[in-house]
Chains A and B, each alone.
Chain A
Amino acid sequence: MHKVKTAVCFVIFLLITVGMGVSVFFSVRGDTEADYVVETNAFFAPFEFYENRKIVGVDVEIVNRVAEKMNKKIQIKNVEFDVIIDNVEAGRIADAGAAGLTITPAREEKVNFTIPYYASVQYVIFNRDAPPSMRDDHVVWEALTGAKLGSQIGSTGYIFIDDEIKNGVLSGTGTTVRGIDSHQLAADAIGAHIIDYAIADELAAKFIVDKNPELGALPLYYSGPTRAEDYPVEESYAIAVNKERTELLEVFNEVLAEMLTEDANGKTEIDKLVLRYMGLTNE
Protein backbone atom coordinates (compact mmCIF):
# COMPACT_ATOMS: atom_id res chain seq x y z
CA MET A 1 0.00 0.00 0.00
CA HIS A 2 2.74 2.40 0.98
CA LYS A 3 4.66 1.62 -2.23
CA VAL A 4 1.57 2.30 -4.37
CA LYS A 5 1.11 5.66 -2.69
CA THR A 6 4.72 6.63 -3.31
CA ALA A 7 4.47 5.55 -6.94
CA VAL A 8 1.29 7.59 -7.45
CA CYS A 9 2.93 10.66 -5.91
CA PHE A 10 5.95 10.19 -8.13
CA VAL A 11 3.83 9.87 -11.29
CA ILE A 12 1.88 13.01 -10.39
CA PHE A 13 5.13 14.85 -9.79
CA LEU A 14 6.51 13.68 -13.15
CA LEU A 15 3.35 14.75 -14.98
CA ILE A 16 3.45 18.20 -13.40
CA THR A 17 7.12 18.60 -14.26
CA VAL A 18 6.62 17.55 -17.88
CA GLY A 19 3.58 19.81 -18.16
CA MET A 20 5.48 22.79 -16.76
CA GLY A 21 8.44 21.97 -19.00
CA VAL A 22 6.23 22.03 -22.09
CA SER A 23 4.72 25.35 -21.03
CA VAL A 24 8.18 26.88 -20.57
CA PHE A 25 9.27 25.47 -23.92
CA PHE A 26 6.35 27.16 -25.66
CA SER A 27 6.95 30.47 -23.95
CA VAL A 28 10.61 30.33 -25.01
CA ARG A 29 10.13 29.43 -28.66
CA GLY A 30 9.52 32.91 -29.99
CA ASP A 31 12.53 34.39 -28.20
CA THR A 32 15.38 32.98 -30.20
CA GLU A 33 14.80 33.99 -33.78
CA ALA A 34 15.38 37.75 -33.86
CA ASP A 35 18.03 39.38 -36.05
CA TYR A 36 18.15 42.49 -33.90
CA VAL A 37 17.13 43.23 -30.33
CA VAL A 38 15.77 46.65 -29.37
CA GLU A 39 15.46 47.39 -25.67
CA THR A 40 12.83 49.59 -24.11
CA ASN A 41 11.17 50.30 -20.78
CA ALA A 42 7.49 49.64 -21.26
CA PHE A 43 6.16 52.11 -18.72
CA PHE A 44 6.24 55.25 -20.80
CA ALA A 45 2.94 55.72 -22.57
CA PRO A 46 2.33 56.70 -25.32
CA PHE A 47 5.81 55.76 -26.56
CA GLU A 48 5.86 52.26 -25.13
CA PHE A 49 3.51 50.50 -22.77
CA TYR A 50 1.94 47.13 -22.16
CA GLU A 51 -1.42 46.50 -23.75
CA ASN A 52 -2.67 43.01 -22.94
CA ARG A 53 0.92 42.10 -22.11
CA LYS A 54 2.20 43.16 -25.53
CA ILE A 55 4.46 46.16 -25.79
CA VAL A 56 2.89 48.78 -28.05
CA GLY A 57 3.36 52.49 -28.68
CA VAL A 58 4.98 55.07 -30.93
CA ASP A 59 8.51 53.69 -30.55
CA VAL A 60 7.25 50.20 -31.32
CA GLU A 61 5.66 51.48 -34.53
CA ILE A 62 8.99 53.03 -35.56
CA VAL A 63 10.85 49.79 -34.85
CA ASN A 64 8.28 47.76 -36.77
CA ARG A 65 8.64 50.11 -39.72
CA VAL A 66 12.41 49.57 -39.66
CA ALA A 67 12.00 45.79 -39.46
CA GLU A 68 9.68 45.89 -42.45
CA LYS A 69 12.09 48.00 -44.45
CA MET A 70 15.10 45.80 -43.69
CA ASN A 71 13.04 42.64 -43.98
CA LYS A 72 14.50 41.45 -40.67
CA LYS A 73 13.03 40.28 -37.41
CA ILE A 74 13.44 42.74 -34.58
CA GLN A 75 12.61 41.72 -31.03
CA ILE A 76 11.51 44.35 -28.54
CA LYS A 77 12.59 43.65 -25.00
CA ASN A 78 11.47 45.30 -21.79
CA VAL A 79 14.26 46.14 -19.33
CA GLU A 80 14.89 48.68 -16.57
CA PHE A 81 15.33 52.15 -18.05
CA ASP A 82 18.75 52.85 -16.58
CA VAL A 83 20.48 49.82 -18.17
CA ILE A 84 19.41 50.51 -21.76
CA ILE A 85 22.26 52.82 -22.76
CA ASP A 86 24.90 50.51 -21.30
CA ASN A 87 23.41 47.45 -22.99
CA VAL A 88 23.27 49.20 -26.35
CA GLU A 89 26.86 50.38 -25.92
CA ALA A 90 28.04 46.83 -25.17
CA GLY A 91 26.00 45.49 -28.09
CA ARG A 92 26.00 41.95 -26.76
CA ILE A 93 22.34 41.66 -25.84
CA ALA A 94 20.92 44.73 -27.52
CA ASP A 95 21.52 46.52 -30.82
CA ALA A 96 19.39 49.57 -30.17
CA GLY A 97 17.30 51.28 -27.53
CA ALA A 98 13.94 52.91 -28.20
CA ALA A 99 12.59 54.31 -24.97
CA GLY A 100 11.94 58.00 -25.45
CA LEU A 101 15.68 58.47 -24.88
CA THR A 102 16.81 62.07 -24.69
CA ILE A 103 20.00 63.02 -26.46
CA THR A 104 22.61 64.04 -23.88
CA PRO A 105 26.35 64.53 -24.38
CA ALA A 106 27.24 61.76 -21.92
CA ARG A 107 24.99 59.29 -23.71
CA GLU A 108 26.31 60.36 -27.10
CA GLU A 109 29.78 59.21 -26.09
CA LYS A 110 28.46 55.70 -25.66
CA VAL A 111 25.97 55.27 -28.49
CA ASN A 112 24.93 56.76 -31.81
CA PHE A 113 21.66 58.66 -31.83
CA THR A 114 19.24 58.89 -34.72
CA ILE A 115 17.72 62.20 -35.71
CA PRO A 116 15.41 63.48 -32.94
CA TYR A 117 11.75 62.63 -33.50
CA TYR A 118 9.94 64.25 -30.63
CA ALA A 119 10.47 67.31 -28.48
CA SER A 120 9.35 67.14 -24.89
CA VAL A 121 9.28 69.40 -21.87
CA GLN A 122 9.90 68.45 -18.27
CA TYR A 123 6.92 68.74 -15.93
CA VAL A 124 6.68 69.08 -12.18
CA ILE A 125 4.08 66.82 -10.55
CA PHE A 126 2.80 68.01 -7.18
CA ASN A 127 0.02 67.49 -4.68
CA ARG A 128 -2.71 70.06 -5.29
CA ASP A 129 -2.83 70.76 -1.54
CA ALA A 130 0.84 71.78 -1.54
CA PRO A 131 1.75 73.21 -4.94
CA PRO A 132 5.09 74.91 -5.53
CA SER A 133 4.93 78.67 -6.11
CA MET A 134 3.97 79.26 -9.72
CA ARG A 135 4.76 81.89 -12.26
CA ASP A 136 1.60 82.18 -14.34
CA ASP A 137 1.30 78.81 -16.02
CA HIS A 138 4.70 77.36 -15.14
CA VAL A 139 7.11 76.60 -12.32
CA VAL A 140 10.72 77.75 -12.30
CA TRP A 141 13.62 75.79 -10.81
CA GLU A 142 13.97 78.31 -7.97
CA ALA A 143 10.50 77.39 -6.72
CA LEU A 144 11.80 73.91 -5.91
CA THR A 145 14.52 75.17 -3.57
CA GLY A 146 14.88 73.09 -0.43
CA ALA A 147 12.32 70.52 -1.54
CA LYS A 148 12.65 66.76 -1.68
CA LEU A 149 12.51 65.91 -5.36
CA GLY A 150 12.11 62.57 -7.09
CA SER A 151 12.30 61.22 -10.60
CA GLN A 152 12.69 57.97 -12.48
CA ILE A 153 16.28 56.90 -11.95
CA GLY A 154 18.46 57.43 -15.03
CA SER A 155 15.78 59.49 -16.79
CA THR A 156 16.51 63.00 -18.05
CA GLY A 157 14.35 64.42 -15.28
CA TYR A 158 16.75 62.84 -12.81
CA ILE A 159 19.81 64.00 -14.75
CA PHE A 160 18.46 67.57 -14.90
CA ILE A 161 17.76 67.70 -11.16
CA ASP A 162 21.10 66.15 -10.32
CA ASP A 163 22.86 68.73 -12.51
CA GLU A 164 21.01 71.65 -10.95
CA ILE A 165 21.78 70.42 -7.43
CA LYS A 166 25.45 69.77 -8.13
CA ASN A 167 26.30 72.91 -10.06
CA GLY A 168 23.15 74.78 -11.03
CA VAL A 169 20.53 77.01 -9.48
CA LEU A 170 19.77 74.51 -6.70
CA SER A 171 23.34 73.96 -5.54
CA GLY A 172 23.90 74.50 -1.84
CA THR A 173 20.19 74.96 -1.11
CA GLY A 174 19.61 71.67 0.67
CA THR A 175 17.46 70.38 -2.17
CA THR A 176 17.63 66.60 -2.43
CA VAL A 177 16.82 64.16 -5.21
CA ARG A 178 15.71 60.57 -4.97
CA GLY A 179 15.90 58.14 -7.90
CA ILE A 180 12.75 56.07 -8.07
CA ASP A 181 11.91 53.00 -10.15
CA SER A 182 9.42 54.65 -12.49
CA HIS A 183 7.54 57.90 -13.12
CA GLN A 184 4.44 56.28 -11.69
CA LEU A 185 6.13 55.26 -8.46
CA ALA A 186 7.55 58.78 -8.16
CA ALA A 187 3.98 60.11 -8.35
CA ASP A 188 2.88 57.61 -5.69
CA ALA A 189 5.83 58.73 -3.56
CA ILE A 190 4.29 62.22 -3.40
CA GLY A 191 1.10 60.76 -1.93
CA ALA A 192 3.17 58.82 0.60
CA HIS A 193 5.06 62.02 1.60
CA ILE A 194 8.39 60.46 0.61
CA ILE A 195 9.08 63.34 -1.76
CA ASP A 196 7.51 66.76 -2.29
CA TYR A 197 7.57 66.99 -6.07
CA ALA A 198 8.24 64.57 -8.91
CA ILE A 199 9.71 65.55 -12.24
CA ALA A 200 8.72 63.68 -15.37
CA ASP A 201 8.39 64.09 -19.10
CA GLU A 202 5.34 65.99 -20.31
CA LEU A 203 3.25 63.12 -21.64
CA ALA A 204 4.02 60.75 -18.78
CA ALA A 205 3.10 63.47 -16.30
CA LYS A 206 -0.17 64.20 -18.09
CA PHE A 207 -1.21 60.55 -18.04
CA ILE A 208 -0.59 60.35 -14.31
CA VAL A 209 -2.35 63.60 -13.43
CA ASP A 210 -5.33 62.63 -15.57
CA LYS A 211 -6.11 59.61 -13.40
CA ASN A 212 -5.17 61.12 -10.03
CA PRO A 213 -7.36 64.16 -9.31
CA GLU A 214 -5.33 65.05 -6.20
CA LEU A 215 -2.19 65.59 -8.30
CA GLY A 216 -1.36 68.48 -10.59
CA ALA A 217 1.42 69.07 -13.12
CA LEU A 218 2.97 72.17 -14.64
CA PRO A 219 5.86 72.70 -17.03
CA LEU A 220 9.27 73.37 -15.53
CA TYR A 221 11.11 76.49 -16.74
CA TYR A 222 14.51 78.06 -16.35
CA SER A 223 13.99 81.59 -15.15
CA GLY A 224 15.01 84.32 -17.55
CA PRO A 225 15.81 87.95 -16.78
CA THR A 226 12.08 88.75 -16.82
CA ARG A 227 9.02 86.58 -16.38
CA ALA A 228 8.25 86.65 -20.09
CA GLU A 229 11.74 85.42 -20.89
CA ASP A 230 11.50 82.23 -18.85
CA TYR A 231 12.23 79.25 -21.09
CA PRO A 232 11.17 75.63 -20.72
CA VAL A 233 13.38 72.64 -19.82
CA GLU A 234 13.34 71.01 -23.22
CA GLU A 235 14.72 67.82 -24.61
CA SER A 236 14.42 65.78 -27.77
CA TYR A 237 13.92 62.06 -28.07
CA ALA A 238 15.93 59.88 -30.39
CA ILE A 239 16.71 56.21 -30.79
CA ALA A 240 20.06 54.95 -29.51
CA VAL A 241 21.95 52.55 -31.78
CA ASN A 242 25.12 50.61 -31.07
CA LYS A 243 28.11 52.36 -32.65
CA GLU A 244 28.97 49.38 -34.85
CA ARG A 245 25.48 48.88 -36.26
CA THR A 246 25.65 51.70 -38.79
CA GLU A 247 23.35 49.86 -41.20
CA LEU A 248 20.65 49.87 -38.52
CA LEU A 249 21.22 53.55 -37.78
CA GLU A 250 20.82 54.43 -41.45
CA VAL A 251 17.49 52.68 -41.80
CA PHE A 252 16.24 54.20 -38.54
CA ASN A 253 17.13 57.64 -39.88
CA GLU A 254 15.40 56.96 -43.22
CA VAL A 255 12.25 55.75 -41.51
CA LEU A 256 12.21 58.66 -39.06
CA ALA A 257 12.71 61.15 -41.89
CA GLU A 258 9.70 59.66 -43.65
CA MET A 259 7.61 59.70 -40.51
CA LEU A 260 8.54 63.31 -39.74
CA THR A 261 7.38 64.63 -43.14
CA GLU A 262 4.41 66.92 -42.67
CA ASP A 263 1.22 66.18 -44.54
CA ALA A 264 -1.13 68.75 -46.04
CA ASN A 265 -2.42 69.71 -42.57
CA GLY A 266 1.07 70.24 -41.22
CA LYS A 267 0.91 67.12 -39.07
CA THR A 268 3.57 64.43 -39.10
CA GLU A 269 2.98 60.74 -38.76
CA ILE A 270 4.71 60.79 -35.37
CA ASP A 271 2.29 63.45 -34.10
CA LYS A 272 -0.64 61.34 -35.24
CA LEU A 273 0.76 58.23 -33.58
CA VAL A 274 1.28 60.10 -30.31
CA LEU A 275 -2.32 61.25 -30.34
CA ARG A 276 -3.56 57.80 -31.24
CA TYR A 277 -1.65 56.05 -28.48
CA MET A 278 -2.78 58.63 -25.99
CA GLY A 279 -6.31 57.58 -26.87
CA LEU A 280 -7.20 61.01 -28.22
CA THR A 281 -7.93 60.08 -31.84
CA ASN A 282 -8.76 56.91 -33.69
CA GLU A 283 -6.68 57.64 -36.77
Chain B
Amino acid sequence: MNDFFSKIVELFNTPEYIDSLLHGFWLTIQISYFAILIGILLGTVIALVGAAKPSKWLAIPKFICRFYTTVIRGTPMALQLFIMFFVIFAIKGFPSIITAILAFGLNSAAYTAEIIRGGILSVDKGQAEAGMALGLSRITIFIKIVAPQAIKNIIPALGNEVITVIKETAIVGMVGMYDLNMAAKDIGSGQNMASYIVPMFVAALFYLAIIYLITFAVKQVEKNLRKSDMKAEK
Protein backbone atom coordinates (compact mmCIF):
# COMPACT_ATOMS: atom_id res chain seq x y z
CA MET B 1 0.00 0.00 0.00
CA ASN B 2 2.90 2.28 0.85
CA ASP B 3 4.33 1.44 -2.53
CA PHE B 4 1.04 2.49 -4.14
CA PHE B 5 1.17 5.98 -2.62
CA SER B 6 4.82 6.49 -3.37
CA LYS B 7 4.07 5.59 -6.99
CA ILE B 8 1.24 8.13 -7.09
CA VAL B 9 3.67 10.75 -5.81
CA GLU B 10 6.19 9.65 -8.42
CA LEU B 11 3.60 10.01 -11.17
CA PHE B 12 2.57 13.51 -10.13
CA ASN B 13 6.21 14.54 -9.77
CA THR B 14 7.15 13.50 -13.31
CA PRO B 15 6.27 16.32 -15.73
CA GLU B 16 6.31 14.00 -18.79
CA TYR B 17 3.67 11.74 -17.25
CA ILE B 18 1.38 14.64 -16.38
CA ASP B 19 1.93 16.08 -19.84
CA SER B 20 0.96 12.74 -21.42
CA LEU B 21 -2.17 12.50 -19.29
CA LEU B 22 -3.23 16.03 -20.20
CA HIS B 23 -2.70 15.37 -23.91
CA GLY B 24 -4.72 12.18 -23.67
CA PHE B 25 -7.38 14.01 -21.71
CA TRP B 26 -7.60 16.67 -24.42
CA LEU B 27 -8.20 14.05 -27.11
CA THR B 28 -10.91 12.47 -24.96
CA ILE B 29 -12.55 15.89 -24.65
CA GLN B 30 -12.27 16.61 -28.38
CA ILE B 31 -13.84 13.31 -29.40
CA SER B 32 -16.58 13.48 -26.76
CA TYR B 33 -17.49 17.10 -27.50
CA PHE B 34 -18.12 16.61 -31.21
CA ALA B 35 -19.63 13.17 -30.73
CA ILE B 36 -22.17 14.63 -28.31
CA LEU B 37 -22.86 17.51 -30.70
CA ILE B 38 -23.51 15.13 -33.60
CA GLY B 39 -25.52 12.95 -31.27
CA ILE B 40 -27.83 15.76 -30.22
CA LEU B 41 -28.32 17.17 -33.73
CA LEU B 42 -28.88 13.85 -35.47
CA GLY B 43 -30.76 12.48 -32.47
CA THR B 44 -33.20 15.38 -32.57
CA VAL B 45 -33.89 14.79 -36.26
CA ILE B 46 -34.46 11.09 -35.70
CA ALA B 47 -36.69 11.75 -32.70
CA LEU B 48 -38.82 14.30 -34.58
CA VAL B 49 -39.26 11.93 -37.48
CA GLY B 50 -40.15 9.16 -35.07
CA ALA B 51 -42.66 11.24 -33.11
CA ALA B 52 -44.28 12.91 -36.14
CA LYS B 53 -47.83 12.02 -37.13
CA PRO B 54 -47.75 9.01 -39.48
CA SER B 55 -48.33 9.85 -43.13
CA LYS B 56 -47.44 8.23 -46.42
CA TRP B 57 -44.55 10.67 -46.98
CA LEU B 58 -42.97 9.74 -43.68
CA ALA B 59 -43.37 5.98 -43.92
CA ILE B 60 -39.90 5.34 -45.36
CA PRO B 61 -37.99 7.90 -43.19
CA LYS B 62 -39.77 6.51 -40.14
CA PHE B 63 -38.70 3.00 -41.07
CA ILE B 64 -35.08 4.09 -41.64
CA CYS B 65 -34.96 5.84 -38.27
CA ARG B 66 -36.41 2.83 -36.48
CA PHE B 67 -33.99 0.51 -38.23
CA TYR B 68 -31.08 2.79 -37.37
CA THR B 69 -31.83 2.97 -33.65
CA THR B 70 -32.43 -0.78 -33.54
CA VAL B 71 -29.09 -1.62 -35.13
CA ILE B 72 -27.03 0.95 -33.23
CA ARG B 73 -28.55 0.17 -29.87
CA GLY B 74 -28.44 -3.55 -30.53
CA THR B 75 -24.70 -3.84 -31.20
CA PRO B 76 -21.73 -3.16 -28.90
CA MET B 77 -19.93 0.17 -29.25
CA ALA B 78 -16.57 -1.61 -29.50
CA LEU B 79 -17.75 -3.48 -32.61
CA GLN B 80 -19.17 -0.32 -34.16
CA LEU B 81 -15.84 1.42 -33.62
CA PHE B 82 -14.02 -1.51 -35.17
CA ILE B 83 -16.31 -1.53 -38.21
CA MET B 84 -15.97 2.23 -38.67
CA PHE B 85 -12.17 2.01 -38.58
CA PHE B 86 -11.51 -1.20 -40.45
CA VAL B 87 -14.41 -1.38 -42.91
CA ILE B 88 -16.22 1.89 -43.57
CA PHE B 89 -13.36 4.36 -43.17
CA ALA B 90 -10.60 1.95 -44.12
CA ILE B 91 -9.11 4.67 -46.30
CA LYS B 92 -5.39 5.30 -46.18
CA GLY B 93 -4.60 8.65 -44.59
CA PHE B 94 -8.13 9.30 -43.33
CA PRO B 95 -7.70 11.10 -40.00
CA SER B 96 -8.59 8.74 -37.19
CA ILE B 97 -10.00 11.48 -34.94
CA ILE B 98 -12.74 12.17 -37.50
CA THR B 99 -13.57 8.47 -37.74
CA ALA B 100 -13.74 8.26 -33.96
CA ILE B 101 -15.98 11.35 -33.69
CA LEU B 102 -18.34 9.91 -36.29
CA ALA B 103 -18.41 6.49 -34.66
CA PHE B 104 -19.30 7.87 -31.24
CA GLY B 105 -21.58 10.57 -32.67
CA LEU B 106 -23.63 8.09 -34.69
CA ASN B 107 -23.85 5.81 -31.67
CA SER B 108 -24.91 8.61 -29.36
CA ALA B 109 -27.53 9.81 -31.87
CA ALA B 110 -29.53 6.60 -31.48
CA TYR B 111 -29.66 6.93 -27.70
CA THR B 112 -30.31 10.67 -27.78
CA ALA B 113 -33.17 10.10 -30.24
CA GLU B 114 -34.83 7.72 -27.80
CA ILE B 115 -34.32 10.17 -24.93
CA ILE B 116 -35.90 13.02 -26.90
CA ARG B 117 -38.72 10.83 -28.17
CA GLY B 118 -39.44 9.76 -24.62
CA GLY B 119 -39.45 13.38 -23.52
CA ILE B 120 -41.94 14.36 -26.22
CA LEU B 121 -44.21 11.42 -25.46
CA SER B 122 -44.13 12.26 -21.75
CA VAL B 123 -46.14 15.43 -22.42
CA ASP B 124 -49.81 14.62 -21.96
CA LYS B 125 -51.79 14.23 -25.19
CA GLY B 126 -54.49 16.52 -23.76
CA GLN B 127 -52.09 19.47 -24.04
CA ALA B 128 -51.79 19.13 -27.79
CA GLU B 129 -55.54 18.53 -28.08
CA ALA B 130 -56.21 21.70 -26.10
CA GLY B 131 -53.94 23.61 -28.44
CA MET B 132 -55.76 22.16 -31.41
CA ALA B 133 -59.10 23.18 -29.88
CA LEU B 134 -57.77 26.74 -29.68
CA GLY B 135 -57.03 26.57 -33.38
CA LEU B 136 -53.21 26.62 -33.14
CA SER B 137 -51.17 25.04 -35.92
CA ARG B 138 -49.29 21.80 -35.23
CA ILE B 139 -45.93 23.62 -35.42
CA THR B 140 -47.02 26.27 -32.92
CA ILE B 141 -48.35 23.61 -30.58
CA PHE B 142 -45.05 21.80 -30.70
CA ILE B 143 -42.84 24.85 -30.21
CA LYS B 144 -44.98 26.70 -27.65
CA ILE B 145 -46.62 23.89 -25.70
CA VAL B 146 -44.99 20.48 -26.12
CA ALA B 147 -41.27 21.32 -26.50
CA PRO B 148 -40.85 23.49 -23.36
CA GLN B 149 -42.38 20.76 -21.22
CA ALA B 150 -40.51 17.96 -22.98
CA ILE B 151 -37.12 19.64 -22.45
CA LYS B 152 -37.54 19.44 -18.70
CA ASN B 153 -37.87 15.68 -18.98
CA ILE B 154 -35.09 15.40 -21.54
CA ILE B 155 -32.28 17.30 -19.76
CA PRO B 156 -31.53 14.82 -16.92
CA ALA B 157 -31.45 11.84 -19.27
CA LEU B 158 -29.40 13.79 -21.79
CA GLY B 159 -26.86 14.62 -19.08
CA ASN B 160 -26.61 10.93 -18.42
CA GLU B 161 -25.95 10.26 -22.11
CA VAL B 162 -23.19 12.91 -22.19
CA ILE B 163 -21.47 11.18 -19.28
CA THR B 164 -21.82 7.80 -20.99
CA VAL B 165 -20.20 9.07 -24.19
CA ILE B 166 -17.22 10.54 -22.34
CA LYS B 167 -16.55 7.29 -20.53
CA GLU B 168 -17.19 5.18 -23.60
CA THR B 169 -14.49 6.98 -25.59
CA ALA B 170 -11.97 5.12 -23.41
CA ILE B 171 -12.12 2.28 -25.95
CA VAL B 172 -10.48 4.30 -28.76
CA GLY B 173 -7.19 2.93 -27.48
CA MET B 174 -8.33 -0.20 -29.33
CA VAL B 175 -7.47 1.52 -32.61
CA GLY B 176 -4.30 3.06 -31.24
CA MET B 177 -5.51 6.58 -30.49
CA TYR B 178 -3.78 8.39 -27.67
CA ASP B 179 -6.67 9.25 -25.36
CA LEU B 180 -6.67 9.44 -21.57
CA ASN B 181 -6.92 5.67 -21.20
CA MET B 182 -4.06 5.17 -23.66
CA ALA B 183 -1.95 7.74 -21.80
CA ALA B 184 -2.42 5.67 -18.65
CA LYS B 185 -1.33 2.56 -20.57
CA ASP B 186 1.70 4.40 -21.93
CA ILE B 187 2.74 5.57 -18.47
CA GLY B 188 2.19 2.06 -17.13
CA SER B 189 4.17 0.32 -19.86
CA GLY B 190 7.56 -1.33 -19.52
CA GLN B 191 9.89 1.57 -20.25
CA ASN B 192 8.04 3.93 -17.88
CA MET B 193 6.45 2.82 -14.60
CA ALA B 194 6.03 -0.84 -15.60
CA SER B 195 2.73 -1.23 -13.79
CA TYR B 196 -0.72 -0.24 -15.00
CA ILE B 197 -2.30 0.04 -11.60
CA VAL B 198 -1.26 3.53 -10.45
CA PRO B 199 -1.65 5.34 -13.82
CA MET B 200 -5.09 3.75 -14.26
CA PHE B 201 -6.15 5.14 -10.88
CA VAL B 202 -4.95 8.60 -11.79
CA ALA B 203 -6.70 8.47 -15.18
CA ALA B 204 -9.87 7.47 -13.35
CA LEU B 205 -9.51 10.64 -11.26
CA PHE B 206 -9.38 12.72 -14.45
CA TYR B 207 -12.58 11.10 -15.76
CA LEU B 208 -14.23 11.60 -12.38
CA ALA B 209 -13.29 15.28 -12.34
CA ILE B 210 -14.73 16.13 -15.76
CA ILE B 211 -17.87 14.09 -15.15
CA TYR B 212 -18.43 15.72 -11.78
CA LEU B 213 -18.20 19.09 -13.52
CA ILE B 214 -20.79 18.06 -16.10
CA THR B 215 -23.14 16.64 -13.48
CA PHE B 216 -22.90 19.96 -11.67
CA ALA B 217 -23.65 21.95 -14.85
CA VAL B 218 -26.63 19.75 -15.73
CA LYS B 219 -28.02 20.20 -12.20
CA GLN B 220 -27.80 23.99 -12.62
CA VAL B 221 -29.65 23.89 -15.94
CA GLU B 222 -32.33 21.67 -14.41
CA LYS B 223 -32.73 24.05 -11.48
CA ASN B 224 -33.12 26.97 -13.87
CA LEU B 225 -35.83 25.20 -15.81
CA ARG B 226 -37.71 24.28 -12.64
CA LYS B 227 -37.48 27.87 -11.45
CA SER B 228 -39.60 29.09 -14.35
CA ASP B 229 -41.95 26.25 -13.52
CA MET B 230 -42.54 27.57 -10.00
CA LYS B 231 -43.20 31.09 -11.24
CA ALA B 232 -45.78 29.84 -13.69
CA GLU B 233 -47.58 27.93 -10.95
CA LYS B 234 -47.77 31.00 -8.75
A residues apposed to B, CB below 8 Å: 16-17, 20-21, 23-24, 27-28, 31-34, 37, 41-43, 45-46, 49-50, 52-53, 75, 77-80, 83, 87, 90, 92-94, 182-185, 187-188, 191, 204, 207-208, 210-212, 279
Contacts and interface: CB of A to CB of B under 8 A. Distances in A.
Contacts of A185: 196
Interface stretch (B87-95, B107-115, B154-162): B87-95
B97 A80 contact: no
A79 B91 contact: no
B190 A43 contact: yes
Contacts of B90: 90, 92-93
B30 A83 contact: no
B175 interface: yes
Contacts of B185: 43, 182, 184
Interface residues of B, number: 36
B178 interface: yes
A33 B194 CA distance: 35
A52 B189 contact: no
Does more than half of chain B's interface fall in helix, strand or loop, or is it mixed? helix
B189 A79 contact: no
A42 B185 CA distance: 10
A52 B178 CA distance: 11
A92 B92 contact: yes
Given A28-B97, A207-B194, A37 B92 contact: yes
28 contacts: A17-B37, A20-B30, A24-B34, A24-B98, A27-B30, A28-B98, A32-B94, A34-B93, A41-B176, A42-B176, A43-B189, A45-B189, A45-B190, A46-B191, A53-B178, A78-B176, A79-B175, A80-B174, A90-B90, A93-B91, A182-B189, A184-B188, A188-B195, A188-B197, A191-B197, A204-B190, A207-B194, A279-B191
